[in-house]
Amino acid sequence: MSELEKPTMMDYHRHMLVCVGPRCTEEGESESLFQMLGEKFREAGINKGDLRVKRTRTHCFATCKSGPVLSIQPDGIWYYNVTEKNLDRIINEHLVGGVPVEDLIYHRSKNG
């Protein structure tokens, strides 16, 4: 049996988890937002370096209301109603500026 190769990963400052499950949005809006992230992260300068944000699709957060929903870790911030306009606010205000977008938060971890 061959030995497994240990995976590698680039360092990152924050991790954005985007729910793309079928109950989050009925028309695939979450997947469309996820597809935009590469370009939006490059434009904001958070695709590499000290502010790099890792992005991951998830299937279900079990909070199926007012999607698209996403989570920013390790900050413990959970956002709802993530339209493209609101995504731009989250990127600019929270991921670049470090200030969460209070009016879009539906949950905040006690540890965040």
26-40 average pLDDT score: 92
Look at residue 63 in the predicted model and tell me its pLDDT.
84
Is residue 4 assigned to a domain?
A: no
Question: Beta 53-58 vs 14-19: how paired, if at all?
Answer: parallel
pLDDT digits (tens, 9 = 90+) for 12-26: 999 999 999 888 787
Is residue 43 assigned to a domain?
A: yes
Count of the separate structural domains present in the chain = 1
Q: pLDDT confidence of 48, banded at 50, 70, 90?
A: very high
Structure tokens at 107: 């949950």
Residues in the chain: 112
What CATH number is given to the structural domain containing 94? 3.40.30.10
Is residue 56 assigned to a domain?
A: yes
107 CB contacts (<8 Å, ≥6 apart)? 63, 77, 78
Look at residue 81 in the predicted model and tell me its pLDDT.
94
Structural domain that includes position 69: 14-108
Look at residue 112 in the predicted model and tell me its pLDDT.
59
Burial status of residue 4 (CB atoms within 10 A of its CB: 0-12, 13-18, 19 or more): exposed
pLDDT digits (tens, 9 = 90+) for 75-109: 999 999 999 999 999 999 999 999 999 999 999 99
Q: How far apart are CA 48 and CA 50, in angstroms?
A: 7
Q: For the full predicted model, state whether its pTM sits above 0.75.
A: yes
Q: pLDDT confidence of 8, banded at 50, 70, 90?
A: very high
Structure tokens at 3: 């030995």
Is residue 5 assigned to a domain?
A: no
Is residue 3 assigned to a domain?
A: no
Q: What amino acid occupies position 16?
A: M
